[in-house]
Amino acid sequence: MNHLLSILDLTKEQIIDYIATAEQFKKENAFYTNMNNRILVNLFYEPSTRTSCSFQTAMIKLGGHVINVTDKYSSVEKGESLEDTIKTLCCYADIIAIRHPQKGSVQTASLASSVPLINAGDGNGEHPTQALLDIFTIKTELMKYNLDITSDNRDRENIVITFVGDLKNSRTIHSLIHILYLFSKVSFHFICPKGLELPTEIINILNERTITFTTDLSLEEALKTTDVLYVTRIQKERFQSNEEYKSIVETEQDKYVITRSILHQYAKEKMIIMHPLPRLNEIEPEIDNDPRAVYFEQVKNGVYMRMAILENLLS
């Protein structure tokens, strides 16, 4: 069965193919009949705006239909197992996109599925479709500065990606890092509150691949060399207690807020600012009008990348 569960399941060549297909869909910006009335089930055990809506939009633009299911309006409320829910939905669906709060849950669901399954986020594990739309955004936006992240040109300087925020719990960052280290000439700055560092297994992979990264720079220092600034919120829903969350927010969060003043003083003119959203207060709303801010372009790109994913899995 052809699922999309993890970025680790994809090769560099497959990722480049996804980018090319998404680019074509974006260029044409049309409605299609590719799906020939096929049905996508959106099974979301967690709240979602962008991922859920972009999957719906993508399927509709491809000529398919969508059934939306949440845990609050399904037999999950009665205690039905994940496996039984999946087996039931396979009776109605040609493909299922699932979001679940538990890491590894999508792997479990895939064993019960007789149709292609897409990981739309599993706890603090992975978010492969977000990572694919992010690399699509990075490529298209940096090309405006004649920087091609997918190129193996040895003469160019490293493209520097700075991740700021909750690196421990951001499934988006975890998946995106797994994509980025496949490409040559990239390096990283990791900036986060104490206790929210990247999982050890990802650090180990970067070390094994001899990828250059720093973990001890200030935001201001890192910005001086940054080409891609990727910001995330501190994810309250992943903490064991509200007290633990508040202790970090009250003492640490202000150190990681992106302001106009910081950008003006330290950031390069030719760089981009990304965020998977939703945003709290980690990026000042005034920055939305900065030409370097591309996080709402990320939202648009999500439709085209998910069109590419749906077409690939159902072709």
pLDDT digits (tens, 9 = 90+) for 11-45: 999 999 999 999 999 999 999 998 989 999 999 99
DSSP 60-117: HHTT-EEEEEEGGGSGGGGT--HHHHHHHHTTT-SEEEEEESSTTHHHHHHHT-SS-E
Report the CATH fold assignment for 128-299. Answer: Rossmann fold (3.40.50)
For the chain, 315 residues long, give each residue's pLDDT as a single digit of tens.
799 999 999 999 999 999 999 999 999 999 999 898 999 999 999 888 999 999 999 999 999 999 999 876 566 666 789 999 999 999 999 999 999 999 899 999 999 999 999 999 998 888 999 999 999 999 999 999 999 999 887 778 899 999 999 999 888 999 999 999 999 899 999 999 888 999 999 999 999 999 999 999 999 999 999 999 999 988 656 666 677 666 666 566 677 899 999 999 999 999 999 999 999 889 999 999 999 999 999 999 999 999 999 999 998
Domain ranges of the chain: 7-127+302-314, 128-299
Q: What is the maximum alpha-carbon separation in the chain?
A: 60
Q: What is the pTM of this model?
A: 0.92
Q: 3 to each of 15, 90, 128, how far by Cα in Å?
A: 15, 14, 11
Q: Where in the sequence numbering do the catalytic residues fall? A: 50-51, 78, 99, 127
The CATH number given to 7-127+302-314 is: 3.40.50.1370
